[in-house]
Structure formats: structure tokens, C-alpha cells
Amino acid sequence: MASLLQKIMIPTIVMIWATFYLFEVMQLHIRNQHLIRPAYFILLALYIFNTYGDVRKWKKEQAKSVGQTGEGFKIPAEMKTLAIIAIITVGYLVIMPLTGFTFSTIAYLAVLLLALNVRKMLTLIFFPLALTIFVYVVFRIFLRLPLPGGFVGF
């Protein structure tokens, strides 16, 4: 069986997207909320049941392999990294409206690279700057879509 991370990654991404979509729809007319809420809660229930089943299967396989190797139950390093990335991403989403897209995205990408054990200073500086400038140019200049300005308004 594939690792637990591989089994739950796609359903988790879909659930995160659905949650953001629910929050977006909540700002619209009440009629739209009546359309999306039932579908969202059905999706949430399916996600919970699916994840619960995957975790149970994974634990059974871990228990079998523990019996063969004699090692204790450990949380894989990839699960810890995924949890850290999720916490960093939630923090990014909270501070972006306050500090604006550019500053928060540069900081987010730099912290994310540190969490992924990237230690080269050139990469830690260049990659967040280049990617933020690229996204800013695409969205602001070519697509003419607004990005959060924050306290600076940039």
C-alpha cells in the first residue's frame, strides 16, 4: 500500500478547495448558499469517512510491519512536514490581507523553503523574490486582477 500521505493528499487538497469555495459563496446571495452548503457537507462527510478508512488500513499495515521488524509505532517524517506546511499556509492566509500580497508571499515562500530543509542562502532569497514578482506581473499587469494590498497598498 502507498504511504498514508499519498493516499490522503488529493482528498485533502479537494477539501481545502471546497472550504475556500464555501467561504467565497457565503459572501454572495443567500440563494447561492443554499445550493453549496448541502454539497459541501456531503463532501465533508465523505472526506472524513475516506480518511478514517485510510488511516485504519495504514495503521494495520504498520502494526504488521512492526511485528516483523520489532520497531515501535512512529509518525513518518513526511506527515510531520505536511503538518508544518499546513500550519505555515494557514498563517500565510491569515496575514496576507494585513500585510499585502508581496510581503506575505515572499515571507511565506522563504519560511516554506526552510521547512523543506532548503539551506542555500541564494535559493532562500532569489526563489521567493522571483516567484512573487512573476505572480504579481501575471495577475496585476497581464490579467489586471487586484491582489491584497495590505498596509502598504502595494
Task: Encode pLDDT of 83-137 as tens digits.
Answer: 888 888 888 888 888 888 888 899 999 998 998 888 888 888 999 999 999 988 8
Task: Encode pLDDT of 31-66 as tens digits.
Answer: 667 777 777 788 888 888 888 888 888 888 877 776
- Give the pTM: 0.54
SS (HEC) of the chain: CCCHHHHHHHHHHHHHHHHHHHHHHCCCCHHHHHHHHHHHHHHHHHHHHHHHHHHHHHHHHHHHHHHHHCCCCCCCHHHHHHHHHHHHHHHHHHHHHHHCHHHHHHHHHHHHHHHCCCCCHHHHHHHHHHHHHHHHHHHHHHCCCCCCCCCCCC
